Structure 1
Amino acid sequence: MLPKSAHTSLIAWSLLLALTGCSISDGIIRPPKPAQLPAKQNLIAPAEDSAISVPIHVDLSAFLDAANDENLIPKKFDHWGSYLKTPKGAAYKYYAERDDFAMDRSGSQQSISTDQGTTLRDWWKGVDPPGSYVSISTALRYKIGTDPHITQCGDGNEWPRRAILNGNIAIGLTPNYGLSASVSSMAVNTTDPCKLHVADSDIFQEVNNRLTNGVHGGLNNAVARINAMTVKSHVEDVWNTLLKPIQLEPDAWLLLNIEKIRHAGFSGIGPVVDDTIQVMAKPVIVFGTEPPSAPAPLPQLDTQPASTEFHVVADAPMDYSTLSKALASRLKGARFSYKDDHIRITNASIYGNGGNQLVIRIDFSGDVQGHVYFVGTPEMNVLTQTVHIGGIRYDSATEKLLLKKADWIYGSAFRDFISNEAVLGVGPAIDRLRGLFTAALNRSINPTISMHGTVSSVQGVGVFADVNALYVRAMSDGALDLKVMGTR
């Protein structure tokens, strides 16, 4: 049995230790980790409609050969031996001859001048070719005489007067990718006009009409060669190729998500022209194992106007260890005071907690020691291209401990300080995607089809957090053309 004095001393020491332990415990904040939230699926929203331009070479030599066949379109228009009469009874005769037709630049309406004077004027009949067209032209030599012999144009020493015979062929694609063409207009464009009486203008109009109508009929027969052509097999090859995922890296894939096909028109000079189709897509880049590809039949040609823009969307993962190092580097050593109390940050880290929630852990020492947890939702600032933590707040367990043991931290501006400092730069992720986008759009898909694209800009447009990484969603702007071999 202890002496009375020893017993008293033991009680005193026990009381002192208890009081000291209470004091130490009151200065330590160590809440548990926030409970993990249920997983939320991160679906990549496809980009806006993007156009993949695919020029397909179309050889119109058969049409041009038919246009130069004298059995379809004469090379000489000889009415010099006998007089003809206009509806008003005026007598006239004419002779004209042409060279072989050649194909001019195709694609857009050419500007044709009109002389409203007394010369053999241009005559387009007020018809503008709808949509795409191909044009042919040839040199024309002519002379005109009247009875009585008051006016002679291009006869004798004046032979020949010169003109250009122009034909415009409206051309397009049917819903099933067959070529469809029709003669839109014929015109005689004089290059060496005669000076004639105004009273004779109806004669010259009659000659003009006879020439253009005669050629128009022959061209209608020549155009049948175009209407027998189709580009369906070439379009189908492109369609089936673009349905498949395109591997960019061992774990990166380009999914074009093609939906429709539109027609951009014809262009080029010569019998071989480019018929440009546009495959409408909503491209994304995904990471991981090869995604499945689903076959889809070639759709009918869409009638909406074509465009030239091309966008790709991708989610770039940013690992939490790298983000934590950057955050700790910014916050370590920061001192925060409130009246006579202070803390100094010793470490900082960030991780995903499921459900698109981020958790920030701040470790500190000073008048209070331990750590606290903040939670919030990542938000992309598209102007600064940075990620902020929206709705940042203490988690519930941290809040209870602070209110109990260190309400001066809870009630101060410490949360606002962390909110302002917890800004995550996404430059490395955007730079990686820029390189990936450029590489993705410039490669061979197979031995006959290759992609040639440009990336004008890449911008972060969204962000998503899961337990594995913080995903930065970026979209590129640019253009994409496909080169198809062997389509003539």
Structure 2
Amino acid sequence: MLLPATPNPLSPAPESSISVPVYVDLSPFLTAANDEVPKKFDHWGSFIKHPKGAEYKYYAERDDFTMAPTGVHRVNDTNSGVMLRDWWKGVELPGSQLFVVTGLRYKIGAHSLHCGDGNEWPRRATLHGNIATELTPTYGLTASVASVAVNTIDPCKITIADTDVTQELTHRLADIARAGLGRAVDRINALTVKAHVEDAWNTLRSPIPLEPDAWLQFNTDKVRHSGFSGVGPIVEDTIQVTAKPIIVFGQEPPAAVAALPPLDTPPTSTGFHGAADARLYGTLPTTLANRLTPTKFHVVTDIPMDYASLSKTLANRLTGKTVAKKGYFLLITNAAIFGNGGNQVVMRIDFSGDAIGHVYFVGKPEMNSLTQTVSFGGLRYDFATEALLQKTVDWLDLSTFRDLIASESILGVTAATDRVRGLLATTLNRALSPSVSMHGTVESVQGIGVFADTKALHIRTMSDGTLGLTVAGKP
């Protein structure tokens, strides 16, 4: 059980995150994109008349679409770097961005002009599609065409009646491609990762046995995600299950009953991050450029340290110590510690020498997180003991005797932290079910609090590390 409430309660455990990668195959979308967007854009047989009076014709053909990393939609123009470095200003993207790209070859003809025709090589360009993709609260994918652009590599220089014909052509081709991609994203909208996430969630609802009387209980709460990454056609999103894990001792605690909650949106990071262009990527604001920082897994554990063992440690330290003054002395012969209730302990110190008997001290346990030790703050004689000593051992310096006991009763918490580390190290890397396996690390274990009851001194520890789940047989 966790420590009971105290007048100065311990800080609550920080929120943990359990990573669950999910993979989505976007091959159906790529196939649809290649089917829905024409391979050939043929308007060579007749002229198009522009409202300003210009007449032109064109022919273009493309390669197959492929998925592209972020940043490849740069254009080879002297001003493009400035333009693209500023594209994000004032924009907060709602989710991940997928990029598709293909090569284009084109030619343009007018009544007395041509470009890329005849003895000339066809002119080159690239067609880029930006697909905004997100997970819905019900764990389905939703996508829409955010933008489409045609970037010329070696543009035609044809201007008729103040009309830049190449620019008109790129806009026309982009509009045609946008319509086709708009139909292709229906394949993405039909995808879901719910079964994958639900399998992981249901597994985490049940306590994990650590040893016969110790259990790791996850206490799952919310589900978030980081956004899609990769260059496709298989892309990855990291589901983050938030939890407040604890280790409990005794009987197996009941399994959590909460069903998979809706996905917490928007995602904790934005952007579809592949091998981004370094110069472009370096200009992005933090909210867009940073991927989700890997979050830690924290486990709170209260380890009981029985008073019999603590008494033995205390006796080994104090037995044989002496306190002398004015030719008189006391020799400590034994020591013990007991729980007094109310987050207090009592120490009994037996002595012989020029006086024979025992004294009682009362103190409250306090954790020193820096030194990883427990001391007993405000250590004092109990009232009856102090009155008796002042009457029968009036030569004894009570402050000196108390300071000796206080300095020798500082306890390390290594036994508690080592036990927790051992419990977790053998647990975090194993299969939890036929389809779900757990993999994690323990980076540190520290004492963060202490509480005394009548049965034991309880050391609260915080374990920090990472934890992820792998779900097999799901998309």
TM value normalised by structure 1: 0.83
**Deviation (angstroms), 1:469:** 2.2
Distance in 2, Cα, partners of 1:370 & 1:144: 110
Name which of 229, 234, 240 aligns with 1:278.
Answer: 240
Equivalence for 1:257: 219
Q: How does 1:57-96 map to 2 (within 5 A)?
A: 57-69=23-35, 72-96=36-60
**Deviation (angstroms), 1:410:** 6.2
Equivalence for 2:278: none
**Deviation (angstroms), 1:146:** 3.6
Q: Secondary structure at the match of 1:413?
A: helix
User: Cα RMSD (Å) of the superposition?
Assistant: 2.8
Distance in 1, Cα, partners of 2:410 & 2:40: 81
Distance in 1, Cα, partners of 2:342 & 2:4: 5
| One-letter amino acid of the counterpart of residue 293, structure 1 | A
Equivalence for 1:138: 102
CA separation of 1:126 and 1:414: change in aligned 2, threshold 3 A: closer
Name which of 340, 360, 364 aligns with 2:347.
Answer: 360
Contact conserved, 2:65 with 2:101, CA < 8 A, in 1? yes
Name which of 191, 194, 197 aligns with 1:229.
Answer: 191
Q: Secondary structure at the match of 1:399?
A: helix
Q: Secondary structure at the match of 2:422?
A: helix
* Match status 1:51 vs 2:17: yes
Distance in 2, Cα, partners of 1:321 & 1:462: 21
Q: Secondary structure at the match of 2:255?
A: coil
Name which of 334, 339, 342 aligns with 2:321.
Answer: 334
Equivalence for 2:306: 319
Equivalence for 2:127: 165
Name the stretch that deviates more: 413-422 or 128-137. 128-137
Equivalence for 2:249: 287
Contact conserved, 1:124 with 1:186, CA < 8 A, in 2? no
Equivalence for 1:25: none
Could you list the per-position Cα deviations for residues 422-446 of structure 1 after superposition, in whole angstroms to 9, with x for gaps in the alignment? 1001112112212323333222111
Structure 2 gap segments, 5+ residues each: 269-292
Name which of 417, 425, 428 aligns with 1:441.
Answer: 428
Distance in 2, Cα, partners of 1:61 & 1:356: 62
Distance in 1, Cα, partners of 2:73 & 2:43: 28
Equivalence for 1:103: 67
Name which of 115, 139, 144 aligns with 1:177.
Answer: 139
Could you list the per-position Cα deviations for residues 402-425 of structure 1 after superposition, in whole angstroms to 9, with x for gaps in the alignment? 233124436442112211221001
Name the stretch that deviates more: 257-266 or 462-471. 462-471
Distance in 2, Cα, partners of 1:212 & 1:332: 88
Alignment identity in percent? 59
**Deviation (angstroms), 1:342:** 1.3
Distance in 2, Cα, partners of 1:251 & 1:41: 24
Could you list the per-position Cα deviations for residues 112-144 of structure 1 after superposition, in whole angstroms to 9, with x for gaps in the alignment? 42445699x999996875321222222222222
Name the stretch that deviates more: 280-289 or 58-67. 58-67
* Match status 1:406 vs 2:393: yes
CA separation of 1:385 and 1:186: change in aligned 2, threshold 3 A: same
| One-letter amino acid of the counterpart of residue 170, structure 1 | A
Distance in 2, Cα, partners of 1:256 & 1:425: 28
Structure 1 gap segments, 5+ residues each: 1-38
Contact conserved, 1:122 with 1:187, CA < 8 A, in 2? no
Equivalence for 1:17: none
Contact conserved, 2:14 with 2:244, CA < 8 A, in 1? yes
Contact conserved, 1:463 with 1:470, CA < 8 A, in 2? yes
Contact conserved, 2:150 with 2:171, CA < 8 A, in 1? no
* Match status 1:462 vs 2:449: yes
**Deviation (angstroms), 1:458:** 1.8
Contact conserved, 1:381 with 1:387, CA < 8 A, in 2? yes
Contact conserved, 1:139 with 1:164, CA < 8 A, in 2? yes
Distance in 1, Cα, partners of 2:37 & 2:310: 76
Contact conserved, 2:123 with 2:156, CA < 8 A, in 1? no
CA separation of 1:220 and 1:363: change in aligned 2, threshold 3 A: same
Distance in 2, Cα, partners of 1:326 & 1:246: 33
| One-letter amino acid of the counterpart of residue 390, structure 1 | G
| One-letter amino acid of the counterpart of residue 62, structure 1 | P
Contact conserved, 1:453 with 1:478, CA < 8 A, in 2? yes
**Deviation (angstroms), 1:217:** 0.5
Contact conserved, 2:39 with 2:61, CA < 8 A, in 1? yes
Distance in 2, Cα, partners of 1:175 & 1:335: 70
Equivalence for 1:193: 154
Distance in 1, Cα, partners of 2:86 & 2:149: 8
| One-letter amino acid of the counterpart of residue 57, structure 1 | Y
**Deviation (angstroms), 1:178:** 1.6
Q: How does 1:344-383 map to 2 (within 5 A)?
A: 344-383=331-370
Q: How does 1:199-210 map to 2 (within 5 A)?
A: 202-210=164-172
Distance in 2, Cα, partners of 1:401 & 1:305: 68
Equivalence for 2:178: 216
Q: Secondary structure at the match of 1:415?
A: helix
Distance in 1, Cα, partners of 2:49 & 2:185: 32
